[in-house]
């Protein structure tokens, strides 16, 4: 046992005892020991966050091409008009030239393409027009022409999920179709232009129905319903994330690699919940579309749980648990004390209490030992750059079973919290932090969901704050990233089969151990 600093011998003991007794009897009426810190068993309340999941619903342009080529006839227009003025001479000397027009306008194969937000439709057009009985003199003259008509469609989706299309048409004659007759140039371009624009109008009316075959609403309904779910974030202690979709918006159409894609974005509320698995939120019907949603991506809490026990061993070493050591008293005296049985719990206002059982060698002649408790109360503190957890702003509360000793000395003084002890109340949580982010990132990579594949990746993570909880420290990291839900039944089936095989393998391995 370390050598005491109080001196020795019965005379010294009697003198000290007398002083303590005299002062203590006076101060007993004025001093009371500090109240014990009270445990706060309320689970940590974590603010909800929202995440926006990208939902691209796609269809193959080749399928739409086939439908258009099947529905739109090859012969666009048959021309058979009665005899009329084909060319007005605007001369008093020369009469207007009359003729009868007969012919047709045919199309070639329709091709769909585009990039970005524009879908393009190209259609070669061949024209044959024959002018008969020209001016009552010429029996017939035939004109042929060809061009490529390009239509650019701007697609939309109304709030009630009805598709829309607005088509702009573009083409140019190399030389406007026409004939030379009776010394005049008779052109038929305006006649063909009229028919081409009629065809463009027909295609514009057909496109919304065609786009409807993407079944964007039906697929979005499946995703929307599946989004009301609960996922496990940690097993021990139980930490869960509950997702509740709030709204869904239309972010536009686009063309990529021969796929027509309608971009949707669903926004969900994310709740982080401690304890038993919470109930799934009630599924609500798919709402009308918002016009747009901000591309925020995934924004979630990654809770890192650190049990209090990680601080126990360094504190026991610093305080010399189980052995008597010399400690200072609040009145400047010293005595021998022994610490045992450390415990931790959260208190009010986000602070942490660390308690020890205390045995003091009594300086009072009628008392051998004094039993009590010491509580160190402090505020958890984070060093985000170095991933270190510590406790600062420390204070001491102590109480023994000797009222006089408490009144005179205040039991154990704040000097017990020396630099060495403060340095020991530290923990490097980088392994747990890295593991939490790895699990979150792995979960985002590929998740099958009823024919859909949910996938994404974390982009950044920042440590936000720390909270003492009934079971340990909860360090919150804010993780952001991208995620999308894509309809891929084959891939989803492969993922489900692979996970079943992995679960079966783990069960088999557990049985053989």
Report pLDDT digits (tens) over 49-107. 888 888 888 888 999 999 999 988 999 888 888 888 887 777 666 677 888 888 888 99
Q: Are 227 and 247 in contact (CB under 8 A)?
A: no
Weakest-pLDDT range from 257-266, 329-338, 343-352: 329-338
Band of residue 458 on the pLDDT scale cut at 50, 70, 90? confident
Residue 513 has pLDDT above 80, yes or no: no
Place of tokens 């469609």: 153
The stretch 316-325 carries a mean pLDDT of 84
User: How high is the pLDDT of residue 405?
Assistant: 63
How far is residue 322's CA from residue 338's CA, in Å, rounded to a whole number? 6
Distance CA 129, CA 141 (A): 9
* pLDDT the model gives residue 25: 35
Binning pLDDT at 50, 70 and 90, where does residue 298 land?
confident
Spell 411-444 as b/e; 16+ CB within 10 A means b: bbbeebbeeeebebbbbebeebbeebbeebbebb
Look at residue 22 and tell me whether its pLDDT is greater than 80.
no
> In terms of pLDDT, which residue wins out, 26 or 73?
73
Interatomic CA distance for residues 94 and 377, integer angstroms: 113
Statement: residue 473 has pLDDT above 60: yes
Average pLDDT of 285-312?
85
| Residue 415 clears pLDDT 70, i.e. is over it | no
| pLDDT confidence of residue 134 | 78
Higher model confidence: residue 23 or residue 469? 469
Residue 371, number of CB atoms within 10 A of its CB: 12
Grade residue 19 by pLDDT with cuts at 50, 70 and 90. very low
- As a whole number, the mean pLDDT across the chain is 80
Q: What is the pLDDT of residues 151-206, one digit of tens each?
A: 998 888 899 999 988 889 888 777 778 777 776 777 777 778 888 888 888 888 88
Query: If pLDDT is split at 50, 70 and 90, which confidence band does 505 have?
Result: confident
Burial label, 378 (beta-carbon count in 10 A; 0-12, 13-18, 19+):
buried
Report pLDDT for 389: 92
pLDDT at site 12: 37
Comparison of pLDDT for 10 and 187, the residue scoring more: 187
| pLDDT at residue 445 greater than cutoff 90 | no
Count Cβ neighbours within 10 Å for each residue of 358-369 and write b for 16 or more, e otherwise.
Answer: bbbbbbbeeeee
H helix runs in 89-148, sequence order: none
Lowest mean pLDDT among 115-124, 126-135, 323-332: 323-332
pLDDT, residue 18, reads: 40
Judged against a pLDDT cut of 50, whether residue 3 lies above it is answered with no
pLDDT at position 411: 58
pLDDT of residue 279: 92
């Amino acid at each position: 046992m370390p050598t005491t600093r109080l001196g020795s011998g019965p005379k010294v003991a009697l003198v000290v005892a007398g002083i303590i007794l005299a002062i203590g009897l006076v101060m007993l009426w004025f001093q009371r020991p500090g109240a014990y810190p009270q445990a706060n068993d309320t689970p940590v309340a974590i603010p909800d966050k929202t995440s926006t999941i990208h939902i691209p619903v796609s269809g193959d342009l080749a399928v739409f091409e086939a439908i258009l080529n099947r529905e739109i006839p090859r012969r666009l227009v048959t021309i058979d008009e009665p005899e009329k003025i084909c060319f007005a001479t605007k001369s008093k000397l020369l009469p207007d030239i009359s003729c009868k027009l007969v012919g047709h306008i045919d199309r070639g194969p329709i091709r769909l393409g585009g990039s970005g937000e524009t879908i393009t439709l190209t259609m070669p057009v061949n024209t044959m027009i024959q002018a008969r009985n020209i001016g009552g003199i010429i029996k017939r003259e035939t004109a042929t022409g060809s061009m490529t008509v390009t239509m650019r469609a701007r697609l939309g989706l109304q709030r009630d999920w009805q598709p829309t299309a607005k088509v702009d048409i573009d083409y140019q004659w190399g030389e406007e179709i026409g004939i030379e007759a009776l010394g005049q140039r008779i052109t038929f371009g305006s006649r063909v232009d009229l028919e081409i624009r009629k065809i463009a109008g027909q295609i514009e009316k057909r496109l919304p129905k065609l786009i409807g075959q993407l079944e964007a609403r039906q697929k979005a309904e499946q995703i929307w319903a599946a989004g009301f779910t609960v996922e496990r974030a940690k097993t021990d202690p139980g930490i869960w994330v509950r997702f509740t979709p709030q709204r869904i918006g239309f972010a536009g159409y686009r063309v990529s690699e021969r796929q027509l894609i309608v971009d949707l974005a669903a926004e969900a509320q994310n709740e982080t919940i401690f304890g038993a698995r919470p109930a799934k939120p009630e599924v609500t019907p798919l709402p009308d579309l918002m016009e747009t949603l901000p591309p925020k991506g995934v924004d979630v809490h990654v809770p890192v749980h650190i049990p209090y026990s990680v601080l126990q061993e360094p504190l026991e070493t610093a305080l010399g648990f189980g052995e008597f050591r010399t400690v200072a008293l609040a009145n400047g005296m010293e005595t021998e004390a022994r610490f045992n049985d450390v415990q931790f719990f959260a208190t009010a206002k986000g602070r942490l209490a660390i308690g020890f059982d205390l045995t003091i060698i009594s300086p009072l002649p009628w008392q051998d030992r004094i039993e009590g408790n010491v509580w160190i109360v402090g505020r958890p503190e984070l060093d985000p750059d170095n991933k270190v957890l510590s406790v600062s702003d420390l204070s001491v509360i102590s109480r023994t079973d000797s009222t006089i000793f408490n009144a005179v000395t205040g039991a154990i003084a704040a000097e017990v919290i020396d630099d060495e002890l403060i340095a020991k109340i530290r923990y490097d949580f980088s392994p747990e932090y890295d593991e939490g982010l790895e699990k979150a990132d792995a979960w985002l990579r590929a998740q099958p969901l009823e024919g859909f594949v949910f996938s994404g990746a974390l982009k950044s993570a920042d440590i936000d704050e720390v909270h003492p909880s009934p079971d340990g420290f909860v360090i919150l990291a804010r993780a952001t990233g991208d995620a999308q839900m894509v309809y891929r039944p084959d891939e989803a089936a492969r993922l489900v089969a692979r996970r079943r095989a992995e679960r079966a393998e783990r069960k088999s391995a557990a049985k053989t151990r």
